[in-house]
Amino acid sequence: MNWMFNQHYQSYLDLFEPYLEQAFPEQERAWGGDVATAARYSLLSGGKRIRPVLALATLACLGREPEQALPYAAALEMIHTYSLVHDDLPCMDDDDLRRGRPTCHKQFGEALAVLAGDALLNRAFEVILDDMTTGCQNKLEAARIIARAAGSSGMIAGQTLDLEAEGQLIPPEKLERLHQLKTGQLILAPVLSACALAGASDFVTSLFQTFAANLGLAFQIQDDILDVTASESRLGKSTGKDQRDQKSTYVTLFGLDTARTFLLDATRLAKEALGAAAGLGYDTTFLEDLADYLLQRDH
């Protein structure tokens, strides 16, 4: 990727990582030492931080200070981490490796991994509620968007569909729906919550929604492609699982070449929506580069 993009991405990480570090402190006696250690083990174990960066960058693109999105960005990363911790459990996807390290339940045991996931989910909303001191209307809307995206009509619904679809080949429409919910909602939520924080108009929000919906689709298709093309050490998690578990994915249903075509189409649609926003005067350069970065990512 280009040097400017990398610098820009790093500047968001420099803003975000210290905030996240203190948002789930190590020594919180009230939370019980072990569960805090397990939660922090997963939360602070790297990861690309795409969701927080999307929230900060969208707010900046809309002309606001990206710092204002920090509590929402941290909440989204906590929710994302909790979903990975629970997804890795033996009763779900049963994985031993995540972000290049043993999964939370391998390191701390299943009971503590369940509690660590629960703690991260609750802390996510505490961090947001701590921000509700001034100018609450837009903040409440941002919080509502995140709660809904993570909940039983969002990511949890997607995970339920995923479990139901295990071992079968499902029709493409059902696959798309499953991914819109399971992965797409947590890519949409950073962008839409930033639109809410900025008080963006319905029209502008709809352009960003089209961008994020297609970005989420592209992200998922690339995830399916990486499962068959990437090395385990680069990816930091097990590969080849989709085939082994007879999972329906864009690759298992359509083959690698068609999946790559879908990936390019979704990225193009995402960038076209940004092009329309740029026509209104917004500087969408970073978000366009982010779409290209996700297209080319190898982990």
The whole-angstrom separation of Cα 253 and Cα 213 is: 21
For residue 99, state whether it binds ligand GRG (rule: CB under 6 A): yes
Three-state secondary-structure class, residue 102:
strand
Binding mask 119-158 for ligand GRG (x = CB under 6 A): ------------------------------------xx--
Three-state secondary-structure class, residue 92:
coil
For residue 42, state whether it binds ligand GRG (rule: CB under 6 A): no
* Contacts of residue 11, Cβ cutoff 8 Å, sequence gap at least 6: none
DSSP 180: I
Q: Which of 42, 58, 103, 159 binds ligand GRG (CB under 6 A)?
A: 159
Binding mask 220-239 for ligand GRG (x = CB under 6 A): x--x----------------
Select the span of 33-41, 85-93, 107-115, 194-202 touching ligand GRG (CB under 6 A): 85-93
Nearer to ligand GRG among residue 200 and residue 216 (C-beta): 216
Pairing of the two strands 97-98 and 101-102:
antiparallel
For residue 95, state whether it binds ligand GRG (rule: CB under 6 A): no
The whole-angstrom separation of Cα 165 and Cα 260 is: 23
Nearer to ligand GRG among residue 47 and residue 66 (C-beta): 47
For residue 58, state whether it binds ligand GRG (rule: CB under 6 A): no
Q: How far is the CB of 140 from ligand GRG (least distance, A)?
A: 24
Three-state secondary-structure class, residue 98:
strand
Select the span of 84-92, 205-213, 247-255, 281-289 touching ligand GRG (CB under 6 A): 84-92
* Contacts of residue 244, Cβ cutoff 8 Å, sequence gap at least 6: none
Q: How far apart are the first and last CA of the chain?
A: 14
Nearer to ligand GRG among residue 136 and residue 244 (C-beta): 244
Nearest to 174 by CA among 191, 189, 157, 156: 157
Q: How far is the CB of 179 from ligand GRG (least distance, A)?
A: 8
Q: How far is the CB of 13 from ligand GRG (least distance, A)?
A: 12
Q: Give the interface with ligand GRG as residue ranges (CB under 6 A).
A: 47-48, 50, 80, 83-84, 86-87, 92, 99, 155-156, 159, 182-183, 220, 223
